Amino acid sequence: MVPQIKMLLNQDNATTILNDIVTQWHSEEAAQFLDKLDPQCEWIEGDKRIVGHANILTAVQRKQNTELHYQLSAELVSYSCNQIHAKFASSWQFSITGQWYRSVGWVELSFAPNGLIDMITIDISNRPISAQERSLY
């Protein structure tokens, strides 16, 4: 028997989930982001694979400590009953060198039957920019 999905995604709730993540990401509210994750969630970014709340929180905190003055924007591209696909852009300053970067890419969020995110797949590219190019708005 196929498990019942707790919440089917639609345009409104997919947009709300994405906006909540953008608001919470890289803020003091980052731990709240974990509330949206299944305890055994997988985070896949290139050749990096991180599994579980504790490991993902450690990775998020490491990013917060090295990616300063972080700005993020994301746009919903598509959704299905249990996935959200979005494109994103961010700008940030590397804490060690002071160099500014623009990161762009795609993210796919997959949801478990319990309604929590069970897989995050990110395709990202970073390029150096000047401080004058950092604004996303």
Instruction: Answer for the pair 122, 107: CB distance below 8 angstroms, yes or no.
Output: yes
Would the pLDDT of 28 be above 70?
no
Q: Which helix or strand (DSSP H or E) is residue 60 part of?
A: helix 53-66
Domains of the chain: 11-23+36-131 (3.10.450.50)
For 93, the token pair is 């300053």
User: Is residue 9 pLDDT above 50, yes or no?
Assistant: yes
Report the predicted TM-score, pTM, of the whole model to 2 decimal places.
Answer: 0.86
Q: In one letter, which amino acid is 77?
A: V
Residue 38 reports pLDDT greater than 80: yes
The pLDDT score that the predictor gives to residue 106 is 97
The band of 5, judged by pLDDT with boundaries at 50, 70 and 90, is low
How many Cα atoms within 13 Å fall on the side-chain side of residue 18? 26
What tokens appear for 42 in the block? 């997988």
% of the chain beyond a pLDDT of 70: 91
Query: What confidence score (pLDDT) does residue 24 get?
Result: 82
Per-residue model confidence as pLDDT tens digits over 59-115: 888 888 899 998 999 999 999 989 999 999 999 999 999 999 999 999 999 999 888
Instruction: Tell me the mean pLDDT in the region 15-42.
Output: 83
Q: Is pLDDT at 22 greater than 90 in this prediction?
A: no
* pLDDT over 50 (residue 1): no
Instruction: Give the single-character DSSP code of 2.
Output: P
**Model pLDDT for residues 98-112, shown as the tens digit of each residue:** 999 999 999 999 999
